[in-house]
Each structure stands twice: as structure tokens, then as C-alpha cells.
Amino acid sequence: MIEQNDLINQIRAYKPDFDSAIVSRAYDYAKKMHDGQTRASGEPYYTHPVEVASILASMKMDTGTIVTAILHDTLEDTEATYEDLKKTFGVEVADLVNGVSKLTRIESQTVEGKQAENFRKLLLAMSEDIRVLLVKLADRLHNMRTMGGLAPEKQRRIALETLEIYAPLAERIGVHQIKEELEDLCFGILNPEARASLAKRLSFLRSEGTGVVDNIIGELQKLFKEAGISAEITGREKTRYSIWKKMQRKNVAFEQLSDVMAFRVVVGKVEECYNVLGILHSRYPSVPGRFKDYISTPKPNGYRSIHTTVMGPEQQRIEVQIRTRDMHNEADLGVAAHWAYKEGEEAPSLKDVRKYRWLRELLEILEQEQRPEDFWENTKLELFQEQVYVFSPKGDLIELPSGATPVDFAYAIHSDVGDKCVGAKINSRIAPLNTKLSNGDQVDIITAKTQTPSPTWERFVVTGKARSHIRKFIRNQQRNEYITLGKAMLQKIFRQEGYEFTDKAVGNVLKNYKAQESDDVYAGIGSGLIVARDVFRAIFPAHKTEIAKRPSSEMDHAAMLRPQAKGKDRPMPIKGLIPGMAMHFARCCHPLPGDRIVGIVTTGKGVTIHTIDCETLETFADTPERWLDVSWGEGPNTPEAHVGRLNLTFMNEQGALGSITTVIGINGGNITNLKITNRTVDFWDIIIDIYVNDTKHLSNIIAALRATPIVTSVERARGR
């Protein structure tokens, strides 16, 4: 437990002339406000904010940040008010405490919704002053250190949230010492066996390899001294969690890793960094593909260093990081280094450090998303990925997640560029929009004023910003289509019953459907959430309708198109269904004879047949009572035709579409629908629905299409 004098002495050690009176006032105020409150461990609650302040003091933070840490829970958990804090500690501290405070938790139907709302508030607060995030990270670090009194399930939930959001945030602002400790603490809760196993192996390696490390450091020091360079060399063991991630990513055993140890060379000037690099590469063979220069092209979080891997003095691969003393301090503290006390210097203006491109992009995602859960998903997508670095035609360096495509790049440049994107050149050559970018690629986006985002882009984009923009467009587009369809359906009923349709009539029943405007009702009808005739009855409750039988001319159009079985040949039966039960095949996965299938009981529709790997089944995971064990039955000699759906990309050449349809026809397929989903100067993406007998029949058609020179890719579709 840290006492008041301990904290003051800790700060005085790096800033002798700081204002100790305001720290003492904050300590006494927090102790008074939190009086009677205890933590899960039984300790007085005020000890927690003081420990958080101590963490920030160890990072040599300014007085305002430390006072904020001491007071950070007073607005949320005590009777303290913003005005009290403003009067006692000043506007700066009051605003910071207000930013850190979680405020009032909103009511939400899901845990994700609550998490998303709390994170949204943190995001808005830290966009005004990044120190809000520094206090929040220190707060989360101390909570992770002291979770012993919580239930195991709650520990796992907090650890998972920390690993998905707070550790990546710490990395984004460059505070690696907090990031690494958070990851290790989470690792111990989420996978204690793996962490313990790695700890034992590292301990053994440490005891066995002490002499080797000392020999390498000694030889490197001798090498640099002969060149007249004064360098501080240390050996650094990589963290357990980073080793575990690498083992998982590369699917290798611990013994196969050759870079568990990294050596750090710290010099005085930037020029000496490159001198050290030249000496290393002239003395030892470098390992291809293992060189990164973050000095000439720093990471977005400000990290600067040169990384290289060589076959070192002991004839083993060693990773070497080369940097100056200032770079080394910033590598540990990141943005916190801007507020760390330095002799004779004042803390910089907030304007110098408060804004980051990634932070602006997260705020833009916040503006695009309607549901908290979508924002939460896209935020994690934006934060929690390895990076790839590509260049714009002007030479600007753009950081993107691994697996990013030209569409992700276009949205990273500007949302308007993404929306109007029609094609891309990668290294001066036309390429499909779903091409995965590699480090060093130069990307040039081709745009058109009339272009709009394609719904198919959502299948391959990997950035949260791109996905949120595409989803917003799809939502708006779908709503407009639903409004048009719903209005037409209602107009038809009005005509059938002899009434003149008006929007005013619908406006009279908005309260019945909790709608703000008539378009909300039309959209509900078009999407199937509201029955059109129910709306008509609500408008004319006294009207009695005689429902006539539907004339044969209004037969189901799909039934007319479907090839009919002849004679005694009937559709292939499904085993496991009650005789006479209504059944239809899911349009999300288009099951074919030969696929493993499952039946889902659907209200008002009987049973829907899905393939066993259909993504839609995840939505029924919590209702196992609706699942039916079904299989394909014994079919007749001439089975019923089923729809197989293909995603196909081909070169835009004269007669290309005719060649594709010919290949399908020759192989016994019958095209029932074709939709162009994306069209560029050189490539077309289409969806084709084909009547086939079974999976084998569809596989034969896919094989024939893949053998066609103009076809670049063809896959069985699993979506609507």
C-alpha cells in the first residue's frame, strides 16, 4: 500500500520542484470521498487510485496527469461533482477526470453493447486529450494486477476485453511497457498452462545461455569500439505472450524459434545508427527479409528503430535493434514521453500530440455505425491486426492491416475515394480490387463520379473504416429498396379494395407501429417485419375484405422457372422430416444433394434446410431445440434440379461472357440468374445461379470454368 509521502517522494525523485501541495490535497480528497468503500480484496478503495498514480509517476508523468489518476473514480463512485473538482483542482484536472470517468452505464441488451458504449465515451474523451487514455491504461493495469478476488469467469471476460482493446491501444500510442505487462497478465488468465510452460522453458534457456549472451555482447562491444562508436548493448528476452503469438502464427514449436533473444544497441546520434548497421552487415551475414528501417519510416505511434537479423558471433541468428537514447525512451513510453519531465523543458502543447490518424479513423467509424455491437466489432478490427506498409503515387506511406486490399487503401486515403473507387493499379499494373497488398506496394486508385460502394466489397475488406462505410451504404440502399417495395405492396391492396392511396392515410397509424414517418412503415412492410394487410386494416378497421383465390396467372414465378419432374420422378426426399411438413432450401447457402445438411425449424415456414457449414447457423446456436438431424433420401433416376451459386471473376474481353455460358451449358448446367457485382476496365465479378443435380455436378462445372483461360477465379458462393 502506497502512502501519501511515498507517492510525493516518488515524484520528487524526477521533479524536485513540483507542486506537492496539490498532490497532497488530491490524496486527502480521494481518501475522504472513498471513505467506507472497499475493493474485492478487502482493501480500502482509495488505495487503488493512489496505485494508479504511482504507475504514472514511474513513467515520470506531469502533475496534472497524476492528480487526475488519484481522483479518476470520484465522479463515478462518490458524491463529488465536476464543479467541486473544478473549484478545488482547476479546469484542466476537472476535464481530465471527467474524461476518464466511465459516466453512467447505459442500458443495453448485450454485454457487447455496454462495452461499446463505454469505449465510445473513452474514445471521444481521449480525442480531446490523449492523457485520458494514459490514466485509463494505468487504471486497467492495476486492476489486472489485483484481480485475485474476482470470480474466474469475470476475470476471463476482463482479460479478453483488455487483450482485444486496451493492449492494442497501448501499442498504438507506443507505451510498450504497459502493453507488454497487460498482455502477460491476460495470457496468465486466458491460457495459464501455456504461460507456465513457456516460463519454464525460458528459465531453462536463461540458465543455459547466460554465457552465450555475454559472449555476444562482449564481441559486439569490441567490434563497435574498434570502429570508434560508443554504444550501450543489452540482451532482451522477448515476452512470453509475443513468443506464444509467433508460435501460433507460424505454427512452430518453441525449439524452432531462433529469435527468443533480441539485442539492443543504443547510440548517441542518428548517423551512428546507420554506422552500426553497416558494421554489422559487413561483419556478419544478414538474414534476407528480416530488415526494417523504422527511423526513415517511423511507425504511426512514433516508434523509431532499425531492426535487422544476422548470423551472429556464435553462428546463430540474432535480432538486433539499433536506436538512439531518445528513441529508446520513446519506445518504452511512447506518447507519454511528451509529458515526462525533462530538465529545463516544459511539457509540449496538447495540439502537438493529441491528434492521430488512427484516432480520427476510429471517430469516423463511430459516426458511421448505428449499432453499438457493429462499432465494437469494427474497432477491434481496426486495432488488433499486424500491419503492412504501402505507398501512394505521391510517395506517402500508408499503414494498413495485414491482408488489406486496394479498397481498404482507398478508404484509408479518404472516405470519398473509397466510395468512388472503380479500379486499382498496384505497382503500375491493373489488379482486381480484392488483391491482397504486400509491403512496399505502390497503389493508385481509379475513381469515377458515378460509382457507389459495392456490397461485395464487404467480403474481402479488412479495415474497420472500409467495412463501416460499406455497411452504411448497404443499410441506406436496402432501406430505400424496402421503402419502394413496401409502398407498392400497400398501394396494390388499396387498389384491390377500391380505395385511393395517400401518404396521409398511413400517417394516421404511425403510433401503431412506433414509427416516426411513413417511410418507416413502408420499410417495415418491404422487409417483411410488418404485414401490408395489417396496415390496411389499421387504417380502415371497419372494412371487411373477401379474400379471393389467387388466379393461376399469379403462380409463383420461381415455380414456373423450376424444371418440373416428369412422370413418377419427384423431388429427392429429405430423411428426418415428419411427412407433410413444409420444407424449403436456404438461399444463404444453396444446399445440394451430396452436401451435409441440417434442418432448422422456422416460424411460419416449416423447416429450412442449410448446409452444415452455413454461417447463418451461428444465429441459431442458442436454440438447439430448433435443430433437426436430416439427410438426403434415396432420389429417383432423374433428380430435381437444385440451384448452385458461384462467385466468378474473369477478364473483360470480347465474347468472355458467351464463353463462360457455353462452358456451363456443355457441362449440363442451366443458368437461371446472373448478376454483375463489380466491373472494372479489365475484370468483371459476377454471381451465377445454375440448376445442377448435386454437388458432384456443380464441382464438374467449377473445374471446367477454372480450366477456361479467361477465368481468374471461381468459387462456390455461400451468401445471398
Distance CA 240, CA 380 (A): 23
Distance CA 719, CA 443 (A): 30
Catalytic positions are 76-77
CB 409 within 8 A of CB 398: yes
Spell out where 347-449 has E strands: 387-391, 397-401, 421-426, 429-431, 443-447
Which H or E run includes 505?
helix 503-507
Long-range Cβ contact pairs of 119-127 (< 8 A, separation 24 or more): 119/165, 119/376, 119/379, 120/366, 120/372, 120/375, 123/359, 123/362, 123/363, 123/366, 123/379, 124/363, 124/366, 125/98, 125/99, 125/100, 126/99, 126/359, 127/354, 127/355, 127/359, 127/360, 127/363
Helix (H, G, I), strand (E, B) or coil at 643: strand
Distances (CA, A) of 174 to 58, 126, 133, 330: 16, 15, 12, 7
Distances (CA, A) of 637 to 167, 568, 706: 61, 10, 29
Span between the terminal Cα atoms of the chain, in Å: 59
Distance CA 303, CA 293 (A): 11
Distance CA 52, CA 66 (A): 8
- Amino acid, single-letter form, for residue 172: R
Distance CA 307, CA 330 (A): 16
Sign of CA dihedral 123, 129, 135, 137: positive
Distance CA 273, CA 295 (A): 9
CB 317 within 8 A of CB 309: yes
For residues 346, 347, 352, 353, the Cα torsion angle rounded to the nearest 10 degrees is 160
**Per-residue cell: 561:** 422457372
CB 49 within 8 A of CB 69: yes
Which residues, other chains included, contact 263 with Cβ-Cβ below 8 Å and sequence gap of 6+?
Answer: 216, 217, 220, 233, 234, 235, 236, 318, 319, 320, 321
Comparing CA positions, the residue from 219, 259, 220 lying closest to residue 242 is 259
**Per-residue cell: 604:** 411460419
**Cβ–Cβ contacts within 10 Å for residue 245, how many?**
14
